[in-house]
A = this chain, B = another copy of it.
Amino acid sequence: MNAALELAATTRSLASLGLREVARQAGLNPNTFYRHFKDFDDLGVAMLDELGAELRGGLRERRMRPAAKGFRLSDLSDPAEGLAQAQALARESVGLVLDFVMDHREAYIVGIRELHGTSPVMRKAMRDMLEGIAQDMTEDLLGVLKLPGVEHDELIEIARVIVRQMVFFSMDYLEEPSRQKQIKRDAERFILLLFWGAIAARQPGLLAQAGLKFPDV
Q: Spell out A's residues near B (CB within 8 Å).
A: 11-13, 15-16, 78-80, 83-84, 87, 112-113, 115-118, 157-158, 161, 164-165, 168, 171, 185-186, 188-190, 192-198, 200-201, 203, 206-207, 209-215, 217
How distant is the Cα of A84 from the Cα of B44 in the complex, in angstroms? 47
Known A87-B217, A215-B84: A201·B196 in contact at CB below 8 Å: yes
Residue of A11, A83, A112, A185 most packed against chain B (CB within 10 A): A83
A79 with B210, Cβ < 8 A, contacts A118-B13, A198-B193 known:
yes
C-alpha spacing A116/B193, complex, angstroms? 26
Cα–Cα, bound, A200→B12 (Å): 43
With A201-B193, A211-B78 in contact, is A112–B116 under 8 Å at CB?
yes
Q: How many monomers of this protein are in the complex?
A: 2
Listed A/B pairs (5) with beta-carbon separation below 8 Å: A13-B117, A189-B217, A197-B197, A200-B207, A207-B207
Residues of the B chain whose Cβ atoms lie less than 8 Å from the Cβ of A12 = 118
With a cutoff of 8 Å between Cβ atoms, the chain B residues found around residue A196 in the complex are 196-197, 200-201, 214
Q: In whole angstroms, what is the CA distance A165 to B166 when docked?
A: 10
Given contacts A196-B201, A200-B207, 7 further A-B contacts (CB under 8 A): A158-B193, A192-B214, A192-B215, A193-B197, A203-B210, A206-B210, A207-B207
- A130 nearest in chain B by CB position: B168
Residue pair B215, A83 in contact (C-beta under 8 Å)? yes
Distance between Cα atoms of A13 and B15 in the complex (Å) = 10
Which chain B residues border A16 with CB–CB below 8 Å?
Answer: 13, 15-16, 118
With a cutoff of 8 Å between Cβ atoms, the chain B residues found around residue A210 in the complex are 79-80, 203, 206
